[in-house]
């Protein structure tokens, strides 16, 4: 289990963007991610996580963790602790069961965004929902989900939980705000995170459809499915990511049917 306190030491000096930042387009290919494979779990890590340690790869902007997890039927993460993190989960395939020490219970599936504020401390578990009876039968399908962690504005806040369903038609209408703590998104139908400088957007694109990447000091683009073309950077395949610093507003076009997750961040953890 990753130690959040270690991450906080690496990134505890949250600061606003400065004009001295050098504009950068940093492409990270899927094959270059850290990997954890332990039988029931196939996990790909975009940043340092657990035993995978690279001091030069601890975060981008306010995003400290972006894990691409596949969990087999009948398995999952047993009860474990978190603190002082805003954790957003986005399911791509199957269903994931969440339970925590605050009494929250939820089944997360594609199109249902979940936020857990760990705050002063929380215990939770996440498991493939194969143990639940579905029409009288269990199932043996894997669950695939992206879990993302950002630092909160303040430490020691009251733990919390929120989920929100975003319909397929909405996700196909452009880049949709999924989670945000930014004042600019206060009227959006999005889950709220306790960081006023960060927002997560998502889109499901058909071939040749385009969206515009947010123009923000820090942007993290992850291709969850399919492939896309990013203006000025070329083709990105499933699992590829781009870290934009001091440059945004590019056109993003689907090469084939695709799903993308985009973090817009107006501050950095270091």
pLDDT attached to residue 131: 58
Q: For residue range 80-102, list pLDDT tens digits in order.
A: 999 999 999 999 999 999 999 99
Name the CATH superfamily for 4-11+21-268: Jelly Rolls (2.60.120.10)
Please count the residues of the chain.
270
Are the CB atoms for 101 and 33 separated by under 8 Å? no
Q: For residue range 30-84, list pLDDT tens digits in order.
A: 999 999 999 999 999 999 999 999 999 999 999 999 999 999 998 988 899 999 9
- Can you give the pTM of this predicted structure? 0.90
CA 59, 258, 246, 18 torsion-angle sign: negative
Domain residue ranges in the chain: 4-11+21-268
pLDDT attached to residue 60: 97
Pairing of strands 76-82, 86-93: unpaired
């Amino acid at each position: 289990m990753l130690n959040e306190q270690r991450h906080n030491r690496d990134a505890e000096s949250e600061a606003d963007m400065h004009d001295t930042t050098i504009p950068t387009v940093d492409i990270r290919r899927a094959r270059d991610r850290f990997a954890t494979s332990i039988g029931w779990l196939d996990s790909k890590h975009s940043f340092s996580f657990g035993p995978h340690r690279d001091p030069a790869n601890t975060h981008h902007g306010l995003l400290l963790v972006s894990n691409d997890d596949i969990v087999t039927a009948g398995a999952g993460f047993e009860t474990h602790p978190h603190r002082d993190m805003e954790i957003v989960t986005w399911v791509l395939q199957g269903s994931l069961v969440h339970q925590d020490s605050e009494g929250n219970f939820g089944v997360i599936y594609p199109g249902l965004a979940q936020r857990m504020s760990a705050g002063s401390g929380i215990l939770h578990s996440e498991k493939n929902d194969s143990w639940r009876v579905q029409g009288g039968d269990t199932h043996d399908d894997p669950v695939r989900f992206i879990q993302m962690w950002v630092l909160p504005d303040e430490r020691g806040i009251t733990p919390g939980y929120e989920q929100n369903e975003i319909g397929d038609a909405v996700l196909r209408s452009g880049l949709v705000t999924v989670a945000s703590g930014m004042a600019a998104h206060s009227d959006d139908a999005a889950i709220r995170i306790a960081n006023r400088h960060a927002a997560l957007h998502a889109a499901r694109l058909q071939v040749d459809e385009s969206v515009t990447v947010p123009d923000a000091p820090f942007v993290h683009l992850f291709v969850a499915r399919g492939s896309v073309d990013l203006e000025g950077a070329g083709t990105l395949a499933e699992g590829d990511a781009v870290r934009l610093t001091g440059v945004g507003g590019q056109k993003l076009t689907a090469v084939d049917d695709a799903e993308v997750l985009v973090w817009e961040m107006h501050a950095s953890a270091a």
